[in-house]
Amino acid sequence: MSLNALINFAYIAAAIMFIFGLKMLSSPATARKGNLISAFGMFLAVIITLLDKSIISYEFIAIGIAAGSVIGFFAARLVAMTRMPEMVALFNGFGGIASLLVGWAVYHFTPEIPPFTAVTIFLSVIIGGITFTGSVVAFGKLSEYISGKPILFAGQHIVNAVLVIGSLVLGALYCLNPAGNYLIFSIIIVMSLILGILAVIPIGGADMPVVISLLNSYSGLAACAAGFVIQNNILIVAGALVGASGIILTQIMCKAMNRSLANVLFSGFGATSSKKQEGVQGEAKPLKVDDAYLILEAAQSVVVVPGYGLAVAQAQHALRELDELLEANGCEVRYAIHPVAGRMPGHMNVLLAEANVPYDKLIDMDNINPTMNTVDVCLVVGANDVVNPAAREDESSPIYGMPIINVDHAKLVFVLKRSMATGFAGVQNPLFFKENTRMIFGDAKETITGLVAGFKNN
């Protein structure tokens, strides 16, 4: 078998592993195995690519592999679950800048650029640049280095439109004569970086799960374009798969919020609130941990609704212990998962998986809601916007029409929260004042640990 035949055969095998791995990621029960299969496919693709005879030196490649492996190892071990969305945002950004640099390098070191290659270089640079700076801004918003509120200014849409049209016009001029248009090429890079910033700053923190999945799609498309630039089949396939899966996930996120992608990208959601929403008032009913234990001790069914506050408190392991004690006491425990809970797609699934919560206990929103009125206690741990009944009841609310988990239909609701503050969307939550709601203020981990102690000591 010739070397080219071996490389192509390995690429086909890697592509098959990517596809099967992505398929397995659709189920929590097979996600871990799917991730390993996809990772092995990428490992095979990288190893077989290094057999290419056109590679004249492996020194810098070896340095890059060593540096990346060390950074990746420590990032995986040391980054807290609360920082996982920021880490994913950076991954997307690094994918974008890598594609941009590949396109730039090929343009810089190739004397004669064919028209098709010039087009693919333009696409890898423009999409890669937008992905990089957009991901950096998303990282800043998630880390709260930048305000999570939409940043708007007069004529913002016009400025963005001018940049997009200008980039396309300059791209056409560059593609017509690549060799003599280095200045235009440089301007395109700068414009792509500016576009990435301006595309993400008007998006509110509550929409970050959508932004993360969309930027993931962009990074895949940029990689696909880079694959055409260097004529590497497996990079084209991998980039196309990432781009397509990212778009599909983005649509799922939008559907979960009952909003269009255009509304997410251009509405500036969260910049303003209605007066009616700002005036939501009532009397909260606080509950002590000891009293909450007595109620849970008598409960026959409990549904836990996790949110970002669970990750902040790092309470997932304590929650798992409480789950085991409740079941030992004859109580059925389930977890209601909203598609956009947390700061990235699947955030709560990953968090609970870390604590070894069985996959079959994770119930999606559509399946849990019809049974919610039979639940004795609904335990809301750090969730806010995804359980806000204003989305169902108040037409003036910015989140009206968004599908939520109907926790207020349960017989009793315990909300574990540090304060009465609004969620990431900045919208008041009337759930806190419902007759069947009890507020348990304080750190979620300390509260759950107190409940665990109650079961152990009695």
Q: Any idea which of 36-45, 243-252, 341-350, 357-366 has the lowest mean pLDDT?
A: 341-350
Locate the domains of the chain by residue range.
82-272, 275-456
pLDDT at 276 over 60: no
Greater model confidence, 272 or 82: 82
User: What DSSP string describes 277-312?
Assistant: HHT------B--HHHHHHHHHH-SEEEEEE-HHHHH
pLDDT of residue 129: 96
pLDDT at 386 over 80: yes
Tokens, residue 413: 């609701």
Of 53-62, 251-260, 298-307, the range with the highest mean pLDDT is 298-307
User: pLDDT digit string (tens) for 221-274?
Assistant: 999 999 999 999 999 999 999 999 999 888 888 887 777 777 777 765 555 444
Give percent of the chain with pLDDT exceeding 70. Answer: 94
pLDDT at 72 over 70: yes
pLDDT of residue 273: 46
How many Cβ atoms sit within 10 Å of the Cβ of residue 73?
10
pLDDT of residue 269: 54
Greater model confidence, 267 or 399: 399
Tokens, residue 325: 């004690």
Whole-angstrom Cα distance, residue 250 to residue 134?
16
pLDDT, mean of residues 369-396: 90
pTM above 0.85, yes or no: no
CA distances from 119 to 124, 138, 185, 226 (A): 9, 28, 12, 11
Q: Write phi, then psi, for 179 (nearest 5 degrees).
A: -60, -35
Residue 239: which of 98, 88, 28, 32 has the closest Cα? 98
In angstroms, how far is CA 453 from the centroid of its own chain? 34
Q: Write phi, then psi, for 9 (nearest 5 degrees).
A: -65, -45
User: What DSSP string describes 38-63?
Assistant: HHHHHHHHHHHHTT-TT----HHHHH
Please enumerate in sequence order all residues whose Cβ is within 8 A of that of 246, keeping only pairs 6 or more positions apart, or say none: 213, 214, 215, 216, 217, 218, 219, 220
- Side-chain-side CA neighbours of 251 within 13 Å: the count stands at 5
- For the chain, how far is it from start to end, CA to CA, in angstroms? 71
Q: Write phi, then psi, for 335 (nearest 5 degrees).
A: -120, 125
pLDDT at 2 over 50: yes
Whole-angstrom Cα distance, residue 230 to residue 110?
11
pLDDT at 325 over 90: yes
- Are β-strands 362-364 and 437-441 bridged in parallel, bridged antiparallel, or unpaired? unpaired
Residue 136: which of 97, 188, 162, 191 has the closest Cα? 97
Q: Which residue has the tokens 């001029």?
A: 173
Question: Is residue 443 among the annotated active site residues?
Answer: no
CA angle 231, 233, 239 (to 5 degrees): 100
Q: Write phi, then psi, for 356 (nearest 5 degrees).
A: 60, 35
pLDDT of residue 372: 94
Catalytic residue among 385, 394, 408, 443: 385
How many Cβ atoms sit within 10 Å of the Cβ of residue 391?
22
Do 429 and 388 touch, CB atoms closer than 8 A?
yes
Q: Any idea which of 166-180, 190-204, 254-268, 353-367 has the lowest mean pLDDT?
A: 254-268
User: pLDDT digit string (tens) for 100-153?
Assistant: 999 999 999 988 899 999 999 999 999 999 999 999 999 998 887 887 778 888
Give the model's confidence band at 280: pLDDT under 50 very low, under 70 low, under 90 confident, else very high: low
Residue 27 burial class via C-beta count within 10 angstroms: exposed 0-12, middle 13-18, buried 19 and up: exposed
Q: Any idea which of 216-225, 278-287, 436-445 has the lowest mean pLDDT?
A: 278-287
Considering the domain delimited by 275-456, tell me its CATH architecture: 3-Layer(aba) Sandwich (3.40)
Do 336 and 304 touch, CB atoms closer than 8 A?
yes
Query: What integer best gives the mean pLDDT of the chain?
Result: 88
Q: Which residue has the tokens 């590949």?
A: 102
φ/ψ region of 149 (left if φ > 0, alpha if ψ in -120 to 50, else beta) reads beta
pLDDT of residue 148: 74
Tokens, residue 342: 């947390």
